[in-house]
């Protein structure tokens, strides 16, 4: 695990916390294989360390690498919100250019700084709760950057608490502007022939399970190759860690680490 600063060069997003990296054993070999990249997003409230403390990401990825001759994705955990309680909705708005930071600054820094596979078709984005919603938004808004996604316990739309408040405060009352960022709307107006994803949720999560199901069904209707998973747990780390763990083999196939 390594702690790094990923500057908001293009976006000027108000990043206040360092990002974290997981580098698998294969990254330290010579010759070094070009490994794919997994960007992991935290929830809200929350921060980049949550995947380390709550998600035990190092243990999870070490276990995967041990079963695959040291091979695993390079995992990058950026500051997705700017501060613990900020809610930029994963869009470019007066709250900050979150989307540009996560799809521009972060990938650019990764390619300039790390020796990884620069082919974005081998990259994926994943997250839980707010981070799950954000992962889906980025995958639908920028499929060339993140053609693969794992949405764990996400919402059915980005929100400040209600559709009316969100549209009014973030989009200046422009409903059409909101629809250009809303996953369910994007899934009815755009096609994603190269994309694929997983929707995962705790089977005891009475609030987020029906929301996840709604978005999953919209993705199915769109024609995206999607998988549905229910894991033990509610809206907690039991479900979030299981959601990622259960998706790793599928991710490795999409990323070219293992044969599908």
> What's the mean pLDDT in 177-186?
96
Residue whose C-alpha is closest to residue 128's, from 236, 49, 6:
236
Chain segment 118-163, per-residue pLDDT in tens? 999 999 999 999 999 999 999 999 999 999 999 999 999 999 999 9
Question: Do the beta carbons of residue 92 and residue 10 sit within 8 Å?
Answer: no
Dist CA 137 CA 236 (whole Å)? 21
Residue 139: the pLDDT is 98
Report which secondary-structure segment, H or E, holds 184: helix 183-189
Residue 258: the pLDDT is 87
For the chain, give the percent of residues with pLDDT over 90: 98
> What's the mean pLDDT in 44-61?
97
**What single-letter DSSP state applies at residue 9?**
T
Number of Cβ atoms within 10 Å of the Cβ of 194: 12
Nearby residues of 248 by Cβ (< 8 Å), 6 or more positions away: 60, 64
Residue 259: the pLDDT is 80
Residue whose C-alpha is closest to residue 12's, from 125, 126, 92:
92
pLDDT at 199 over 90: yes
> What's the mean pLDDT in 101-105?
98
Burial 108-123 (b: 16+ CB within 10 A, else e): ebbeeebebbeebebb
CA end-to-end span of the chain, whole Å?
28
> What's the mean pLDDT in 79-85?
96
Q: Give ∠ CA 106-131-5 in degrees, rounded to 5.
A: 30
> The tokens of 45 are what?
């409230």
Looking up tokens 């764990």 gives 152
Mean confidence (pLDDT) of the chain: 97
> What's the mean pLDDT in 196-223?
98
Tell me the pLDDT band of 106, cut-offs 50, 70 and 90: very high
Dist CA 149 CA 8 (whole Å)? 23
**What single-letter DSSP state applies at residue 33?**
P
Chain segment 3-27, per-residue pLDDT in tens? 999 999 999 999 999 999 999 999 9
Residue 113: the pLDDT is 98
Chain segment 107-128, per-residue pLDDT in tens? 999 999 999 999 999 999 999 9
- Please state whether 123 falls in left (phi above 0), alpha (psi between -120 and 50) or beta: beta
Residue 8: the pLDDT is 98
Q: At 13, give phi and psi (nearest 5°).
A: -65, 135
**How far is residue 202 CA from its own chain's centroid?**
17
């Amino acid at each position: 695990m390594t702690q790094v600063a990923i500057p908001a060069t293009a976006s000027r997003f108000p990043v206040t916390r360092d990002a974290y990296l997981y580098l698998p054993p294969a990254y330290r070999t010579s010759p070094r294989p070009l490994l794919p990249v997994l960007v992991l997003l935290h929830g809200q409230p929350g921060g980049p360390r949550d995947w380390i403390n709550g998600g035990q990401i190092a243990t999870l990825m070490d276990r995967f690498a041990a079963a695959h001759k040291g091979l695993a994705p390079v995992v990058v955990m950026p500051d997705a919100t700017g501060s613990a309680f900020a809610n930029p909705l994963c869009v470019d708005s007066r709250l900050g250019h979150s989307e540009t930071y996560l799809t521009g600054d972060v990938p650019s820094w990764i390619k300039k700084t790390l020796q990884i596979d620069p082919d974005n078709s081998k990259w994926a984005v994943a997250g839980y709760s707010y981070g799950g919603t954000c992962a889906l938004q980025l995958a639908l808004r920028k499929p060339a950057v993140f053609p693969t996604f794992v949405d764990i316990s996400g919402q059915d739309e980005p929100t400040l608490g209600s559709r009316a408040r969100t549209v009014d405060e973030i989009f200046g009352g422009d409903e059409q502007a909101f629809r250009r960022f809303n996953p369910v709307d994007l899934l009815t107006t755009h096609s994603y022939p190269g994309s694929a994803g997983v929707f995962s949720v705790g089977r005891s999560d009475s609030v987020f399970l029906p929301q996840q199901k709604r978005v999953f069904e919209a993705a199915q209707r769109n024609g995206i190759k999607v998988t549905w998973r229910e894991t033990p747990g509610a809206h907690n780390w039991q479900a979030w860690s299981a959601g990622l763990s259960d998706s790793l083999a599928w991710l490795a196939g999409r990323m070219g680490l293992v044969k599908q």
